[in-house]
Amino acid sequence: MDNVIDFINVNRERHLEELKTLLAIPSISALPAHVADVKRCADWCAEEMRRIGLQNVRLIDTPGYPVVYGDWIGAPGAPTILFYGHYDVQPVDPLDLWQSPPFEATVRDGEIYARGAADDKGQVFMHFKAIEAHLRTSGRLPVNIRIILEGEEEVGSVHLDEFVRAHKQDLRADVVVISDSPMFARGVPSICYGLRGLVYFQIDLRGSSTDLHSGSFGGAVVNPAFALAQMLAQMKDRGGRVRIPGFYDEVVPLTDAERKAWETLPFNEKRYRKDFGIPKLFGESGYSTLERTWARPTFEVNGLLSGFTGEGAKTVLPAVAMAKVSMRLVPNQQPDRIAAQFEAFVRRIAPKSVELKITRMHGGKPWMTSYDNPFVQAAARAIERGFGSTPVFTREGGSIPVVSTFQEELGLPSVLFGVGLPDENAHAPNEKLDVANFHGGIIASAMLYDEIGRAAPGRA
């Protein structure tokens, strides 16, 4: 391993320069204007995968963006890693809040700023460089590896479940490795053993065929903005509990062991409030902040639109109102069942005075694994070797829809080892990745392959 680590240290600057090239591609999967960019990014990744010495590299078409595949199966008897990551990124608006352009990666104070720096290009690239270091120094890897990169993660991985089902043979492996999550805190590396799921909806209300004069019509015709606000207000009670009937039926309660373990994590609530400018925390009564975000489901309004929002005042009764809402789910809530309960509730509480349209959007299942399998233990050793401290075990509030699919369709456990930070600004302006974590993450990833190679005999 010494040669590998030397190689990584010597190439530190080159790694960063190459990452900048990847970060320059605006592969925003949500926006039709970027179709060509997303495809270009897939090509770029494939080219890079060939360059570092992976084999059988190809783009595999889906009805949406292609999956980039590559492998190195030269370690007979050793386990096979299925590495998953995504090459698409979130939109960048509001653009004026970025301190440097989102697709011109800029290093400031030890952080590299760009859309995708942490989520997920920087973390994918860290594995590329770990693989490259092994292959360049010894001509081999200590494990077999298959890589799949998706271009639709940020829009709900709509075609990936089908892809996994159709390519079971190509995806034969012993364990999934993913780096698409933050570490617990600066200097506190972590392994994540649970993710929340998601169901997402758009609600449209119409109260009239056109906007109306609020003096001539106000008081006699429904105001859809008001109706929508009243409906949304019924989604949660004052104690932060979701009021959709049946919503909590399948929720697996937190165990005492988890609660105790999480209490020992170095989480500073004051600091958290200060970092994010939160005057006072709010959430479901009876749960701590970590419990609320990691182990409890929630209902959130992601966007609201209605009426006049320009400067000045306009007396108008809007014709329509729209809300984007989503629910984060925990094991064992089923997205389809929750979606049906939500729709039934919305139909019941919508006033007769409005026309209602409900549109279901993307989503994914929640996931949780036990962390006593040999691969997780191997990852813990690798992180300790790479970062110099033992990782803590965390769950996360975000979602990676395919993780539960890997479990259900391929029977594979996943190891989620992320090197982002909680203040990485993922999905927000000024997304960033700590350069030292990127570098340490390359070393830890290289060690991860080494540790996994020795953790168990390969079966795939």
Q: What residues line the site for ligand BES (CB under 6 A)? A: 119-120, 153-154, 156, 180-182, 198, 362, 364, 396, 398-401
Q: How far is the CB of 400 from ligand BES (least distance, A)?
A: 5
Among the listed residues 88, 152, 431, 450, the single catalytic one is 88
Listed in sequence order, the residues at least 6 apart from 339 whose beta carbon sits closer than 8 Å to its beta carbon are 199, 201, 360, 363
Please report the DSSP string for 183-214 in residue order: -SBTTB-EEE-EE-EEEEEEEEEESSSS-EET
- Tell me the three state secondary structure of residue 76: coil
Q: Which does 27 bind (CB under 5 to 8 A by kind): ligand BES, Zn ion, none?
A: none
User: E strand or H helix at 123, and its extent?
Assistant: helix 121-138
Our finding on whether 88 is near Zn ion (CB under 5 A) is: no
Strand partners, 145: 72, 81
Q: How far is the CB of 179 from ligand BES (least distance, A)?
A: 9
Q: Are 154 and 89 a contacting pair, CB within 8 Å?
A: yes
CA distance 381 to 257: 23
Q: What letter represents residue 348's amino acid?
A: R
Q: How far is the CB of 135 from ligand BES (least distance, A)?
A: 27
Size of the site for Zn ion (CB under 5 A): 3
Of 46, 16, 41, 19, the closest CA to residue 29 belongs to 41
Question: Alpha-carbon Rg of the chain, whole angstroms?
Answer: 23
CA distance 165 to 179: 22
Name the residue nearer to ligand BES (CB basis): 72 or 294: 294
CA distance 65 to 107: 30
Handedness of CA 203, 207, 209, 212 (dihedral sign): negative
Q: How far is the CB of 35 from ligand BES (least distance, A)?
A: 18
Which 141-200 residues touch Zn ion, going by CB under 5 A?
180
Name the residue nearer to ligand BES (CB basis): 147 or 426: 426
Name the residue nearer to Zn ion (CB basis): 119 or 450: 119
Name the residue nearer to ligand BES (CB basis): 68 or 321: 68
Q: Which does 70 bind (CB under 5 to 8 A by kind): Zn ion, ligand BES, none?
A: none
Q: Which does 317 bind (CB under 5 to 8 A by kind): ligand BES, Zn ion, none?
A: none
Name the residue nearer to Zn ion (CB basis): 120 or 431: 120
Q: How far is the CB of 331 from ligand BES (least distance, A)?
A: 15
Name the residue nearer to Zn ion (CB basis): 103 or 342: 103
How distant, in Å, are the alpha carbons of 230, 240, 322 from that of 307?
16, 28, 10
CA distance 145 to 444: 16
- Show the site string, 393-422: x = touches Zn ion by CB under 5 A, - = not: ------------------------------
Is residue 300 part of the annotated active site? The answer reads no
Is residue 174 part of the annotated active site? The answer reads no
- Show the site string, 119-138: x = touches Zn ion by CB under 5 A, - = not: xx------------------
Among the listed residues 119, 152, 153, 424, the single catalytic one is 153
Local structure of residue 390 (DSSP, 8 states): P
Strand partners, 85: 149
Q: How far is the CB of 452 from Zn ion (least distance, A)?
A: 22
| Active-site annotation, residues | 88, 153
Binding stretches for Zn ion (CB under 5 A): 119-120, 180
